[in-house]
Amino acid sequence: MQMCRGYRSIYGRFLYSNGLLGSIVHFDRIDDAFALIFNEAFNPKAVEGGLIGAMLQGFQRRSSQMRQGFGSAAIAHSPSKVKYPY
């Protein structure tokens, strides 16, 4: 456990320093990057894709929570010992 704590600290410093170095090296492109993010994130095509993706994730989550279509009812009830199984 103690060993992992040291590696996380080194890894965090590595990521932070590389992010800082990349920001310094490409300082002249920061405003273009933010403009690209906001222009592309809020156009109608991106919003449509985001909504479709969110709906798909919701459907997947619901189907896995409700266990519909997976046939898990037989698995869940198979070890039970009852007098009348039906």
Q: Return the domain boundaries, the chain.
A: 2-66
**Distance from C-alpha of 30 to C-alpha of 18, rounded to nearest angstrom:** 15
pLDDT at 52: 94
- What's the Cα-to-Cα distance from 58 to each of 47, 50, 64, rounded to whole Å? 16, 12, 10
pLDDT at 7: 78
Report the amino acid identity of residue 57.
Answer: Q
In this structure, what are the phi and psi dihedrals at residue 84, rounded to the nearest 5 degrees? -120, 100
pTM listed for this prediction:
0.43
Average pLDDT over residues 59-75: 64
- Say if residue 11's pLDDT is above 70: yes
Give 46's contacts (C-beta < 8 A, 6+ positions apart).
Answer: 40
